């Protein structure tokens, strides 16, 4: 992993806890990078927002540019290839960052230029299937490099309270949709205008993401902020027992063997499917009079507020907050069914906001929980294992193959039940390697007991 090398004058020490985990303390973020660590949340947020904006333009163009769609299945194959490339790039970049050849700055900068190339290729030759599929591969690779780096970086710089910064960065996924919301610059009807918008989105995203990536960097391995003592009790350092650091740093191979990773993947998969089905059902209801673009704005506003849910998890516990977010996600779908049958537009808008809030919050919380359970040193690689879980439902449902628009109520009911199941599943999450309090047997002969 490419790390920030501290000056020789900085003093640091390594301490071990009772589990044998090593913590490197004594160096502040300002001493390591020359700036406060808040920039390691703001800059990744800019990178996530920029690449998301280009992604929305890319997916919209795939469905409209070039007229006929010769590959069949609508935009399934381009979008599926884009998602597969994103997941593969996330996994690959995580391993390269941890092994040394690839730095966080280089990964984000390369992702910015790959995004630009993908958008330009589609804008210049929209009707050629090979070019469109190639642009999906290049654009998805660029998005994967940026996503894997930006989402995992805050967890390394905030090991003591990573929930808020990680969810804040995840909110950039929906903020990138703002330029395409109703009431702003809509998607042009003319083919030439669509090409211009796509090329402009790619160029703008490249500039923003590359500028943010130049200042990014990983902390040294095992780094811990100097203002908190990792060996003190969690309550004494402002934390919770439910948010304890990982027992040790798990490699991806060791993480795969832990049940917690599979539970996290299932929870993320179900929540992503619930969000995708819910948004599809909301889009059907939003086509009627009175709703307009209010639902789209509500989803984005809710997603932007997901940072609050991440900060709440630092105080109430990550697992408990994840279960509450999944519960809210499922309840919002049942509320959307009731609102659709009664034409209750205000309730429908509230359900759209709740869907956006809970959907983005689950992604941020699962990403933070991966670091809580498996450590920060291999966080990017572990996230790469989970990346496909939130992409697959979005592609299948979003391309029209996973939900039938003729039965939006059935899709919403299925989404609601899935969200409730994810809430129950989240309650069974447990960090690997940490003994359960119920299994601790008291010493039958404590020290000081008088023996007859």
The DSSP string of 404-446 is -TT-HHHHHHHHHHHHHHHHHHHTT---TTPPPGGGPPPPSS-
Model pLDDT, residue 73: 42
Residue 298 has pLDDT above 50, yes or no: yes
Is 448 contained in some domain?
no
pLDDT, tens digit, 9 for 90 and up, residues 79-102:
778 888 888 899 888 888 888 788
Is 412 contained in some domain?
yes
pLDDT, tens digit, 9 for 90 and up, residues 332-355:
999 988 887 777 788 888 988 999
Residue 440 has pLDDT above 70, yes or no: no
Tracing tokens 């537009």 back to the chain, one arrives at 345
Q: Residue 13: beta bridge partners? A: 25
Q: How confident is the model at residue 399 (pLDDT cuts 50, 70, 90)?
A: low
What's phi and psi for 16, nearest 5 deg? Answer: -120, 140
* DSSP string covering 55-112: HHHHHHHHHHTTSS-TTSSTTHHHHHHHHHHHHHHHHHHHHHHHHSS--HHHHHHHHH
Residue 262 has pLDDT above 90, yes or no: yes
Give the count of beta carbons closer than 10 Å to the beta carbon of residue 185: 10
Q: Which H or E element spans position 29?
A: helix 29-33
Structural contact between residues 120 and 199, judged by C-beta atoms closer than 8 angstroms: yes
Structural contact between residues 29 and 219, judged by C-beta atoms closer than 8 angstroms: yes
Q: How confident is the model at residue 236 (pLDDT cuts 50, 70, 90)?
A: very low
Q: How confident is the model at residue 259 (pLDDT cuts 50, 70, 90)?
A: very high
Q: How confident is the model at residue 445 (pLDDT cuts 50, 70, 90)?
A: low
For the residues 214-227, what does the mean pLDDT come to? 89
**388 lies in which domain range?**
22-426
pLDDT, tens digit, 9 for 90 and up, residues 161-198:
899 999 999 999 999 888 877 656 555 656 667 788 88
Select the more confidently predicted residue: 54 or 189.
54
Model pLDDT, residue 118: 87
Q: Which of 415, 133, 404, 155 is nearest to 273 (CA)?
A: 415
Residue 251 token pair:
């490699």
Residue 47 DSSP code = H
Model pLDDT, residue 71: 37
Round to whole Å and give the CA distance between 380 and 221: 13
Structural contact between residues 415 and 333, judged by C-beta atoms closer than 8 angstroms: yes
For the residues 114-121, what does the mean pLDDT come to? 89
Residue 110 has pLDDT above 80, yes or no: yes
Round to whole Å and give the CA distance between 427 and 201: 41
Q: Which of 188, 63, 70 is nearest to 136 (CA)?
A: 63
Q: How confident is the model at residue 199 (pLDDT cuts 50, 70, 90)?
A: confident
> What's the CATH code of the domain at 258?
1.20.1250.20
Q: At what angle do helices 163-170 and 39-64 cross, to 10 degrees?
A: 30
Work out the end-to-end distance of the chain between its first and last CA atoms, rounded to an integer number of angstroms. Answer: 59
37 Cβ partners below 8 Å, 6+ apart?
29, 30, 157, 158, 225
Is 191 contained in some domain?
yes
Q: How confident is the model at residue 400 (pLDDT cuts 50, 70, 90)?
A: low
Let me know the angle formed at the C-alpha of 337 by 332 and 340, rounded to the nearest 5 degrees: 120
Structural contact between residues 112 and 146, judged by C-beta atoms closer than 8 angstroms: yes
Q: Which of 82, 80, 81, 106 is nearest to 93 (CA)?
A: 106
Round to whole Å and give the CA distance between 124 and 118: 10
For the residues 241-265, what does the mean pLDDT come to? 88
Model pLDDT, residue 69: 42
Average predicted confidence (pLDDT) for the chain: 81
**Percent of the chain's residues with pLDDT above 90:** 34
What's the total number of domains in the chain?
Answer: 1
Is 14 contained in some domain?
no
Answer positive or negative: Cα dihedral of 168, 173, 179, 184.
negative
Q: How confident is the model at residue 9 (pLDDT cuts 50, 70, 90)?
A: very low
Model pLDDT, residue 1: 47
Is 449 contained in some domain?
no
Residue 5 has pLDDT above 70, yes or no: no
Q: Which of 262, 308, 284, 39 is nearest to 150 (CA)?
A: 39
Model pLDDT, residue 58: 77
330 Cβ partners below 8 Å, 6+ apart?
274, 415, 416, 417, 418, 419, 420, 421, 422, 423
Residue 161 DSSP code = S
Is 8 contained in some domain?
no
Which of the residue ranges 11-20, 158-167, 270-279, 369-378 would you say has the lowest mean pLDDT? 11-20
* Distances, alpha carbon 410 to alpha carbons 275, 330, 333, 405, 428, in Å: 14, 14, 10, 10, 28
Is 450 contained in some domain?
no
Q: Which of 115, 119, 131 is nearest to 199 (CA)?
A: 119
What's phi and psi for 103, nearest 5 deg? Answer: -90, 165
Q: In the structure, how many helices (H) and strands (E) does the chain have? A: 16, 2
Residue 437 has pLDDT above 90, yes or no: no
Is 260 contained in some domain?
yes
């Amino acid at each position: 992993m490419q790390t920030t090398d501290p000056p020789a004058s900085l003093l640091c020490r390594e301490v071990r806890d009772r589990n044998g985990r090593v913590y490197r303390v004594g160096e502040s973020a300002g001493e390591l990078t020359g700036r406060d660590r808040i920039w390691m949340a703001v800059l990744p947020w800019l990178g996530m927002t920029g690449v998301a904006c280009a992604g929305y333009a890319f997916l919209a163009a795939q469905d409209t540019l070039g007229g006929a769609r010769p590959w069949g299945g609508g935009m399934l194959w381009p979008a599926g290839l884009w998602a597969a490339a994103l997941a593969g790039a996330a996994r690959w970049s995580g391993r390269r960052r941890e092994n040394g050849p690839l730095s966080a700055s280089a990964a984000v900068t390369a992702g910015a230029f790959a995004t630009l190339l993908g958008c330009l290729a589609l804008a210049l030759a929209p009707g050629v299937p090979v070019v469109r599929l190639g642009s999906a591969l290049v654009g998805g690779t660029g998005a994967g490099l940026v996503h894997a780096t930006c989402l995992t970086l805050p967890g390394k710089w905030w090991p003591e309270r990573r929930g808020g910064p990680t969810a804040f960065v995840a909110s950039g996924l929906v903020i990138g949709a703002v330029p395409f919301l109703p009431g702003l610059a809509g998607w042009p009807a003319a083919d030439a205008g669509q090409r211009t918008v796509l090329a402009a989105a790619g160029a703008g995203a490249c500039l923003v993401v590359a500028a943010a990536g130049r200042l990014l960097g990983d902390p040294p391995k095992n780094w811990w902020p100097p203002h908190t003592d990792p060996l003190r009790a969690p309550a004494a350092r402002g934390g919770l027992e439910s948010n304890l650091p990982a027992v040790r740093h798990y490699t991806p191979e060791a993480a795969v063997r832990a049940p917690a990773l599979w539970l996290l993947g299932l929870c993320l998969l179900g929540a992503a499917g619930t969000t995708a089905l819910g948004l599809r059902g909301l889009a059907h209801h939003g086509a009627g009079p009175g709703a307009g673009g209010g639902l789209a704005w509500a989803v984005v506003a809710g997603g932007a507020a997901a940072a609050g849910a991440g900060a709440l998890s630092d105080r109430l516990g990550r697992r408990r907050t994840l279960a509450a977010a999944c519960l809210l996600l499922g309840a919002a779908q049942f509320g959307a069914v009731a609102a659709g049958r009664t034409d209750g537009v205000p309730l429908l808008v509230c359900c759209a906001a709740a869907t956006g809030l809970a959907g983005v919050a689950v992604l941020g919380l699962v990403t933070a929980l991966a670091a809580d359970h498996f450590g920060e040193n291999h966080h990017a690689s572990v996230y790469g294992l989970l990346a496909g879980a939130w992409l697959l439902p979005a592609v299948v449902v979003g391309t029209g193959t996973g939900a039938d628009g003729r039965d939006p109520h059935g899709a919403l009911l299925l989404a609601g039940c899935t969200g409730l199941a994810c809430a129950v599943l989240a309650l069974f999450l447990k960090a690997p390697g940490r003994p359960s309090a119920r299994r601790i047997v008291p010493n039958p002969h404590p020290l000081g007991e008088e023996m007859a």
